[in-house]
Structure 1
Amino acid sequence: SSGKVVIQRPDPPVVGKVNHHSIELYWDIHNVYQRIGPSNTWFKFSIEEEDVKTRMYGNVYCGYSKQHVVEGLEPSTSYRFRLKVTGHDGECAYSPVVTVSTTREPMTVEHLHRAVNMNDDATVLKILHTRHVKADVPDKLGFSPLMVAAQRGYFRIVQLLVDHGADINQENGSGKNSLMLACFAGHLDIVQYLRRQGASWESRDRAGCTAMHWAVDGGNVKLIEWMIGDGCEVDVKDFCSQWTPLMRVSAVTGNPDVARRLIAAGADVNVKDKDGKSPLMVAALNNHERLVRLLIEKGADGGITNEYGIGISEMAKAFNRQNMVVILEDMKKEIL
């Protein structure tokens, strides 16, 4: 004999902890391959993983340790490993193959948010049924799954979340709740459903805005009519600017159809904000012609002045709103 070491066939690696993305393997538990003498005479261990497509083996570990954790694996997937033992002279032996499957991926809040965003009610239901995930955990922007579904108009998902204990009054960072978000987005069916579940018209965000402030920004006239019919207050002032919903229309959208509904429901056309501005002034400065005509027709005071005693025509001139100056002069004549 040439003095070559014949290496006996090693046992397959022993499987330790397994989860959805890693598998722990260890080997040589009986110390067959002892480390005796200088390190260049030690046995070397390799863990090899089979590639499913090519049926070839590739190294996932090589060294003198007797354990290794294989990371970065896919959940619910089967993997095949074998142990290779190499002597100092290059002789080697392979163990039988061991097959191990990773576990299922645990359901997390991220999965719930992803399913809600994709309007995938079947997956939402499956996740809520596991009871591992609370229905109210917010995403990175502070929106709960219910807020997202309410804003996007996903009625079935709104129902599922509420049925599984989602809090309809939960607020995001700016104090907006699901009702306000649904009002802004104009989803009448969801607004009606949230009201049946006890959502209140009285709630306000951090700036003191109500669902009506948000509904007028969204401009869904049919929704606004329903809200008025359902007893939602039309003339509440916010905390910051003391703006009513009618002031918001004058500043933001200039939508005369929305303004007409608010005025019919009792909105004050001559309300003053914290700087003494009226809806008519704000509408004129924002160039909302049709709204300016409507406000004057509904009794807005054209002679009103701001805190510095400046009237609407002067303001319009100062802001170079020539068309407004003309409208205001014309309407004055009509009134006279």
Structure 2
Amino acid sequence: MAKRAPLDCGPHATKRQRTEFPQDKLPSLGELVLGGRCSEAKILLSRQRAAIDERDQDGMTPLLQAVGLKNAKMASILIENKASLEVRDLEGRTALAIAASNGCIESTKVLLAARANLEAPDYSGRTVLNLAACNGELKILELLISEGALMEARDAEKRTVLQTAGCNGHANIVRTLVMRKASLEAVDSSNETALIISARKGHAPVVKTLLEMNASAFHILEHKNAHGFSALSCSSCSGHFDVVNLLLAAGGDIESRSNEGFTPLLCASCGGRQEVVSLLLDRKAKIESFNNHGDTPLLLTALKGHKDVAEVLIQRGANLEAKERDGMTPLMVASLEGHDKLVKTFLEAGANIEASNNGGTSLMCAVFQQHKKVTELLLEHKAFVDPRNTDGDSALKLAARDRNRHLAEILLDAGADFLMKNAWGVSVIDEVFHNLRAARNTQNLEQEWELYGLISLFTFHPRALPKHRELLVPRFMTELVPTSQEQLMRRELLSEIRDAVDHVMGAGAQKWMPKEFVRIVSTSIFEYVDNCCVVLREISRHVNSMSM
């Protein structure tokens, strides 16, 4: 490879050099820095010193670029030519901060020799020492401390250098800082110490270092953050088994309570941390502890759906009938949340399927939230199909109120009574007809076809007695089809609707309408037509039988 000619266009340059580097084609200082061309940069600076702090499109000056590339020699040349030590990158970092972050000790020494500011924070409030601790740069950290950097300097979250190192899991830096008398009791804006932060993050080596090097370990073990969680509670919630084990061995309070009454066992149960739950129970944690809302560990697992944790608690003797503040048992909570696998676990363990709070059983909870699988599971285990709440409403009434035909059919198959009345004398069918009139008045087609579907279900379900049909059909005629002429017109209209849909589908509607949209709309209209026609067909049969 041919040797590159040095950059020199001055009075002593050769004719060849002046030809190769004409004045209008000189490389910029930034290009020379990126290429690591120190000698050429030095020559250029002797002629264009004003460009030394010029920024590129990324906001970087030549000095920031040189430090970022760990080129200490280039950084030294730039500093000799009066490059500013206070310029910052887009994150607010000075050249010294970048050098400390990147672990370039040579550049750091050059900048320190030039008396760069040790305490200049970036836009997140992190000083140079914070950044070195954050990135695990032990040698640079020791160098900065020897130069007088403040160990108690804080970032925007009020974290000290020790807390920053603990948060990022750098046990060697934590040990160095503790040996240099960094405060273990300093707290950040969330009132968390270095121990709580490292425990929450699951940094077992850091936690071990802090416990071994602290003469008053018990004091920092009992410290709580702004929400009242200790280091043990935080690590239990996050599921850090090794950290929990260390803290328990050091004497952490296994029944420590947060502001809302959460113990470590409640935290682990809520988070679904099976191994930690087993460990805490082995260490004699109270299995029936409860928080300010009355939630026990088993109730919290029911709420969150943690089946494996629930099985551990049940095996250890947790109370299946414990009730929270609103009177709900674990089975009721799991039914309300739709955790079908957990519901099955509770039922197989012998949970009371008819336990209630103000009349609301597990079946009522499942129907209220329209959980089909849970409803079927409870009915398979012989749940009473017609429980009533304090208003006298049954499970079928709740399903009808939500116009959920599938749930209503499941309940009817199990023997639910749609003529049962509530405390105000309103039956399920009364409410369905009331809602149907409202839907017709507001011209809500979607609700109307859903309600027609319910009426046809109640009328023609296999469990519907003939006397029920005799009650429903005349009522339908009286309230919604006053004359046989209107009945005939409605049937013709429905037939026209079906023909129109067939025509649209046959005319290639997919060319101007999304295929899925056409399918959904046409299916909905057909369902509406079918529901109406079923009811009207029975009315016609009833009218004919009366006239004979």
Structure 1 length as normaliser, TM-score? 0.68
The 5 A counterparts of 1:1-336 are: 52-54=76-78, 55-57=80-82, 77-79=112-114, 103-108=147-152, 110-131=160-181, 133-165=182-214, 166=217, 167-239=220-292, 241-252=293-304, 254-306=305-357, 308-332=358-382
Displacement after TM superposition at 1:331 (Å): 1.4
Give a deviation string over 1:55-79, Cα, whole Å, max 9, x none.
334799xxxxxxxxxxx99586123
Structure-1 separation of matches of 2:84 and 2:364: 82
Give a deviation string over 1:188-227, Cα, whole Å, max 9, x none.
2221111111112121111111111111123232222222
Higher strand share goes to which structure? 1
Structure-1 separation of matches of 2:300 and 2:195: 26
Structure-1 separation of matches of 2:238 and 2:372: 34
The question of whether the paired residues in 1 share the 8 Å contact of 2:338 and 2:366 is answered with: no
The question of whether the paired residues in 2 share the 8 Å contact of 1:296 and 1:302 is answered with: yes
Structure-2 separation of matches of 1:153 and 1:59: 41
Structure-1 separation of matches of 2:167 and 2:285: 30
The root-mean-square deviation of aligned C-alpha atoms, in Å, is: 2.3
> Which 10-residue stretch deviates more, 219-228 or 147-156?
219-228
Give a deviation string over 1:317-336, Cα, whole Å, max 9, x none.
12211221111000127xxx
Displacement after TM superposition at 1:238 (Å): 0.9
Displacement after TM superposition at 1:276 (Å): 0.8
Displacement after TM superposition at 1:274 (Å): 1.1
Which amino acid in the other structure matches residue 327 of structure 2?
G
Structure-2 separation of matches of 1:186 and 1:280: 25
Aligned residues with identical type, % of pairs = 24
Tell me which stretches of 4 or more aligned residues in structure 1 moved more than 4 Å.
57-60, 72-76
Which amino acid in the other structure matches residue 147 of structure 1?
I
Structure-1 separation of matches of 2:300 and 2:166: 31
Displacement after TM superposition at 1:129 (Å): 1.0
Displacement after TM superposition at 1:110 (Å): 2.2
Unaligned runs of at least 5 residues, structure 2: 1-74, 86-93, 97-107, 116-145, 153-158, 384-548
> Which 10-residue stretch deviates more, 279-288 or 215-224?
215-224
Structure-1 separation of matches of 2:279 and 2:168: 29
Give a deviation string over 1:169-202, Cα, whole Å, max 9, x none.
1100111001111111222222111111111212
| 3-state SS of 2:114 partner | strand
Which amino acid in the other structure matches residue 151 of structure 2?
M
The question of whether the paired residues in 1 share the 8 Å contact of 2:169 and 2:206 is answered with: yes
**Higher relative contact order, chain-length normalized (CA < 8 Å, sep 6+):** 1
Which amino acid in the other structure matches residue 265 of structure 1?
R
| 3-state SS of 2:291 partner | coil
The question of whether the paired residues in 2 share the 8 Å contact of 1:135 and 1:164 is answered with: no
Structure-2 separation of matches of 1:215 and 1:286: 20
Which amino acid in the other structure matches residue 297 of structure 2?
P
The question of whether the paired residues in 2 share the 8 Å contact of 1:235 and 1:266 is answered with: no
Structure-1 separation of matches of 2:239 and 2:307: 17
Structure-2 separation of matches of 1:312 and 1:169: 40
Displacement after TM superposition at 1:293 (Å): 0.6
Structure-2 separation of matches of 1:230 and 1:163: 22
| 3-state SS of 2:227 partner | coil
| 3-state SS of 1:168 partner | helix
Higher helix share goes to which structure? 2
Give a deviation string over 1:10-68, Cα, whole Å, max 9, x none.
xxxxxxxxxxxxxxxxxxxxxxxxxxxxxxxxxxxxxxxxx9424334799xxxxxxxx
Give a deviation string over 1:246-287, Cα, whole Å, max 9, x none.
0000112x1221111111112110111111111111101111
The question of whether the paired residues in 1 share the 8 Å contact of 2:163 and 2:194 is answered with: yes
Unaligned runs of at least 5 residues, structure 1: 1-50, 61-71, 81-101
Which amino acid in the other structure matches residue 177 of structure 1?
S
Q: Which has the larger radius of gyration?
A: 2
Displacement after TM superposition at 1:314 (Å): 2.0
| 3-state SS of 1:199 partner | coil
Structure-2 separation of matches of 1:292 and 1:59: 68
Give a deviation string over 1:102-123, Cα, whole Å, max 9, x none.
9331212521122112211111
Structure-1 separation of matches of 2:244 and 2:82: 59
| 3-state SS of 1:323 partner | helix
Displacement after TM superposition at 1:146 (Å): 0.6
Structure-1 separation of matches of 2:265 and 2:343: 21
Structure-2 separation of matches of 1:309 and 1:224: 33
The question of whether the paired residues in 2 share the 8 Å contact of 1:303 and 1:311 is answered with: yes
Aligned residue-pair number: 247
